């Protein structure tokens, strides 16, 4: 008969007793003092290799996605970059603004000095590491003056957005739109940039230039800009404060220029006789010239003036980039070093002068 064994109830504190680890064959072996049962627990199970490979692939994919997003933002002009001032060509485009008030420039420089450049300029890449300015002429000019005056390294760079205009016309449109929104151009400045763009071959004619540069403007506004184009072509280089001409006076001048063939020459002589010291004085002289009676329709034309005018005092150059190369003839250089544009204007630039100049250019020898 088999020997019976008596079973006792399980002891709840048996496994937690120090130094006890029961085995089936040998019972409870001795454990070194201070060694807990948990210290000899099996090591944690390592993740399978496929999990490690998947994690590394996910990290690489995330890094590639971030790099691609940054590259796309840079290419699309959504990433602000810090460029050296010397790397940006300020005369890449013929500027639409004739100048800036000294007080406005001083206020802008003080704002940048205290708070830094808040709004980036817009540039396009012309060569590796070289850029042409599209918009932001005032900010770039202010930074250059601050860098020259203070010598501080924080003014040696400019914040910029990289644009990629498909055509030169698109670059001009971007410049005009930025200035129209931020400051607003005068009618003369709008007409001037239109005429300059046509002269440089950006647009085929005045009409296409007006429609492209001022597409958001009304038809009536584009018509007024076209009227100021006639003033710009007749008087450019002879006016010291053309941007101050108001709309009503400008439209009256344009109508008189169309109606009276002798009016441009008369007006140029009046302006060349004495240079206006202020914008108010120049506007008063233009208004006085309009009050002179126009010749009746069908009247005999007046004798053509001599090609070489009498030596009389001439108006001062409208900007530092203009110089008087002979009495009544002013020369201005625009367009920058890579694409210079020579502008010849003044009271003595009449049809006879133009014919002689064209003949000399055709055969300089």
What's the pLDDT tens digit per position in 10-19? 665 655 555 5
Average pLDDT rounded to a whole number, residues 9-33: 55
- Is position 163 within any domain? yes
- Domain span holding position 98: 70-183
- Is position 120 within any domain? yes
Taking the C-alpha atoms of residue 183 and residue 136, their distance in angstroms, rounded to an integer, is 11
Predicted confidence band at 317 (pLDDT cuts at 50, 70, 90)?
very low
Taking the C-alpha atoms of residue 277 and residue 281, their distance in angstroms, rounded to an integer, is 7
What CATH number is attached to the domain comprising 134?
Answer: 3.90.1530.10
Predicted confidence band at 145 (pLDDT cuts at 50, 70, 90)?
very high
Taking the C-alpha atoms of residue 48 and residue 106, their distance in angstroms, rounded to an integer, is 68
Q: What's the number of domains the chain is made of?
A: 1
Q: Average pLDDT, whole number, for the chain?
A: 78
Contact yes or no for 120/136 (Cβ under 8 A)? yes
- Is position 195 within any domain? no
The reported pLDDT for the residue numbered 311 is 44
Q: Which are the contacts of 132, defined by CB distance < 8 A and separation ≥ 6? A: 88, 89, 92, 93, 123, 124, 126, 171
> Pick the residue with more confidence: 259 or 334?
259
The reported pLDDT for the residue numbered 102 is 81
Beta strands in the chain (DSSP E): 80-84, 88-89, 121-127, 130-135, 157-163, 322-326, 329-334, 341-345
Question: pLDDT tens, 276-285?
Answer: 888 899 999 9
Contact yes or no for 327/272 (Cβ under 8 A)? no
The reported pLDDT for the residue numbered 337 is 45
Share of the chain above pLDDT 70, in %: 72
- Is position 177 within any domain? yes
> Pick the residue with more confidence: 284 or 9?
284
320 has pLDDT over 60: no
The reported pLDDT for the residue numbered 112 is 93
First to last CA, the chain: 142
- Is position 351 within any domain? no
Nearest to 76 by CA among 170, 168, 161: 161
Average pLDDT rounded to a whole number, residues 248-264: 90
Contact yes or no for 85/158 (Cβ under 8 A)? yes
For the chain, the maximum distance between any two Cα atoms, rounded to a whole number of angstroms, is 157
Average pLDDT rounded to a whole number, residues 31-50: 59
- Is position 332 within any domain? no
Contact yes or no for 131/123 (Cβ under 8 A)? yes
- Is position 307 within any domain? no
- Is position 346 within any domain? no
3-class SS of residue 114 = helix
């Amino acid at each position: 008969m088999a020997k019976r064994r008596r079973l006792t109830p399980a002891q709840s504190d048996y496994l937690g007793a120090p130094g006890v680890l029961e085995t089936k064959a040998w019972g409870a072996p001795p454990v070194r003092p201070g060694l807990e049962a948990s210290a000899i627990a099996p090591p944690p199970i390592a993740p399978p290799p496929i999990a490690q490979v998947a994690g590394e692939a996910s990290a690489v994919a995330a890094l590639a996605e971030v790099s691609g997003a940054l590259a796309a933002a840079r290419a699309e002009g959504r990433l602000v970059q810090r460029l050296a001032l010397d790397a940006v060509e300020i005369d890449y485009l013929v500027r639409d603004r004739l100048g800036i008030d000294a007080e406005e420039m001083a206020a802008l420089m003080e704002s940048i000095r205290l708070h830094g450049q808040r709004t980036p300029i817009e540039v396009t890449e012309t060569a590796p590491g070289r850029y042409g300015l599209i918009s932001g002429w005032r900010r770039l000019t202010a930074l250059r003056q601050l860098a020259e005056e203070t010598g501080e390294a924080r003014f040696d760079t400019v914040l910029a957005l990289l644009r990629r205009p498909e055509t030169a016309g698109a670059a001009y449109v971007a410049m005009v739109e930025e200035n129209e929104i931020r400051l607003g151009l005068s009618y003369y400045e709008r007409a001037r940039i239109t005429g300059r763009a046509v002269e440089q071959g950006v647009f085929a004619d005045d009409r296409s230039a007006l429609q492209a540069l001022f597409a958001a403007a009304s038809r009536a506004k584009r018509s007024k800009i076209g009227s100021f184009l006639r003033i710009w072509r007749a008087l450019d280089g002879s006016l010291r404060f053309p941007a101050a001409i108001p709309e009503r006076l400008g439209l009256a001048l344009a109508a008189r220029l169309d109606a009276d063939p002798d009016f441009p020459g008369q007006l140029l002589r009046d302006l060349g006789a004495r240079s206006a010291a202020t914008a108010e004085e120049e506007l008063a002289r233009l208004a006085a010239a309009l009050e002179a009676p126009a010749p009746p329709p069908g009247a005999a034309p007046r004798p053509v003036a001599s090609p070489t005018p009498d030596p009389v005092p001439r108006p001062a150059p409208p900007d530092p980039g203009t110089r008087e190369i002979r009495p009544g003839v002013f020369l201005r250089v625009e367009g920058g070093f890579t694409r210079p544009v020579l502008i010849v204007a003044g009271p003595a630039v009449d049809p006879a002068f133009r014919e002689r100049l064209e003949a000399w250019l055709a055969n300089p020898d």
